Homo-oligomer: A and B are copies of this chain.
C-alpha cells in the first residue's frame, strides 16, 4: 500500500517519530509499504524566501533543484526514525523512484513510473520512502510537479505499483460537507465518488489537489484521506457505486481566491470570445467560470472568473482586445466569492438549482454569475456574503453531522 504524509504531518522531529510509529504498525501487519513524504512544514517557504533574498531572477530549473532539497531531508529523517524502531527502510528521490516527467519545470507532468528500485526494496522486505513532489525529466533534469505534487506522486506510485490502496495523511480527519471553520456542524463524509471529489477540489475544497484526484480517477486508484494526528477513519474516494441511491447534495464548498473581469458591449459576432480566451490561455491564465449574456442590441457582455493572482495579467489581455475591437473598457472585480453545491444525485434530480437560488434569495444574497455541471451548481456572490451562503445552504440541504442528507 501507499501512504502519503504531508508537510504538517512531518513538521518536526516528534511528528516524524509519530508517523514512523504508524508506518511500523502497517509494516508489521505484513503489508508492503511505500511511504511518500512532503517537505517538513515551512521548509518550502524558507527556501522560497532565501531565493528571494539571493536574486530577483529565479530560473525554473534551479527553483526545482532548490525546492527538492526539502523532501530529501524529510525522507532521510523518516528512514532514520524507522530504523530506530527496527524497520529496514530505504529512501528514494523522485529520480531514483523512477518518476519520469516532461521537461516543464515547476509543474511537470508524470509520463511514466519506472518502479524497479522500489519493487526490489519491497521484495527485500524493506519499507520504501519516496520523495513526493519531484521527478526527473526526459532531459535528466530534476523537476517538480507543482501544487498538490506529493499527492500526485502517491497516486502515480499506487497506480504504477498496482498498490492495494493509497492513503493520504493530512492535518484534517477527512473531507467535510462544508468547511468546519464556517459550519461547526459540518459532517465528515465517509465516502465520495471521484466525480464529487473533483468538483469539491475544483470549487474550493483544499483537502486534495484537483490534479491528484484526476490522476486517481483515470488510473482507478481508490484514495483514503485521513488524519496523521488522530489516525481515525477518514474519507474514502472511489468509483461511484451504481447500485446505491446517491444523496442529492453531498457538500457545500466555497472559494474566495478568484476575481472577475467583465468586458461590456462586445460586438456580437463570431470569433471575439475565441480571440479573448485564446489570448488568456497564451498567458497560462486559468479561466474558471465564463458567462456571456444573450445579445439583444447587437452587443453583449462577457464575464469570467480567474485566480486573483492572475488578475493584472488578465486585465492586460482584455484591455488590449477591448481597444482593438472598440469595446468599452473592461472592469476588474476582486470582491467576489463562489459558493457551490455538489452531489452525484443531482444528475437525476434537476430541482436542486431552484432550491439553491431560493435559499440565497431568502437570505438577501444576490447572485452575480451561475455555472453548472451535471453534479454541481456554482454561484458567484459578494465575498462578504459567502459565509452566510454556506451556512444557509448547509442547513437547507440538511447536511449537518446527524442529518440524513435528504
Q: Residues of A at under 8 Å CB distance from B?
A: 13, 16-17, 47, 50-51, 53-59, 61-63, 65-66, 68-70, 72-73, 75-77, 79-81, 83-84, 89-91, 93, 96, 117, 140, 142
Do residues A55 and B80 form an inter-chain contact, with CB atoms below 8 A?
Answer: yes
Which residue among A13, A62, A77, A81 has the maximum number of chain B CB atoms within 10 Å of its CB? A62
Other-chain contact of A50, B13, B47, B62, B69 (Cβ < 8 Å): B13
Other-chain contact of A57, B59, B84, B117 (Cβ < 8 Å): B84
Do residues B62 and A96 form an inter-chain contact, with CB atoms below 8 A?
Answer: no
Q: With a CB–CB cut-off of 8 A, which chain B residues contact A50?
A: 13, 73, 77
Q: Tell me how far the C-beta of A115 lies from the nearest C-beta in chain B, rounded to whole angstroms.
A: 14
Q: Are A53 and B13 CB-contacts (below 8 A) given A75-B65, A76-B62, A77-B66?
A: yes
Cross-chain pairs A/B with CB under 8 angstroms, 14 sampled:
A13-B53, A51-B80, A54-B80, A55-B77, A55-B81, A55-B83, A56-B84, A57-B80, A62-B80, A63-B76, A65-B93, A66-B77, A68-B72, A117-B140
Other-chain contact of A62, B16, B69, B79 (Cβ < 8 Å): B79
Do residues B84 and A55 form an inter-chain contact, with CB atoms below 8 A?
Answer: yes
Do residues A66 and B59 form an inter-chain contact, with CB atoms below 8 A?
Answer: no
Do residues A66 and B73 form an inter-chain contact, with CB atoms below 8 A?
Answer: yes
Q: With a CB–CB cut-off of 8 A, which chain B residues contact A68?
A: 72
Which 4 pairs across A and B sit closest by C-beta, in order of nearness?
A13-B53, A66-B76, A55-B84, A55-B80
- Total copies of this chain within the assembly: 2
Q: Tell me how far the C-beta of A372 lies from the nearest C-beta in chain B, rounded to whole angstroms.
A: 45
Q: Tell me how far the C-beta of A297 lies from the nearest C-beta in chain B, rounded to whole angstroms.
A: 53
Q: What is the chain B residue whose CB lies nearest that of A47?
A: B73
Q: What is the chain B residue whose CB lies nearest that of A16?
A: B54
Q: With a CB–CB cut-off of 8 A, which chain B residues contact A55?
A: 17, 77, 80-81, 83-84
Q: With a CB–CB cut-off of 8 A, which chain B residues contact A72?
A: 65-66, 68-69, 72
Do residues B57 and A83 form an inter-chain contact, with CB atoms below 8 A?
Answer: yes
Q: Tell me how far the C-beta of A301 lies from the nearest C-beta in chain B, rounded to whole angstroms.
A: 43
Other-chain contact of A83, B16, B59, B77, B83 (Cβ < 8 Å): B59
Q: Tell me how far the C-beta of A23 lies from the nearest C-beta in chain B, rounded to whole angstroms.
A: 13
Which residue among A55, A57, A70, A72 has the maximum number of chain B CB atoms within 10 Å of its CB? A55
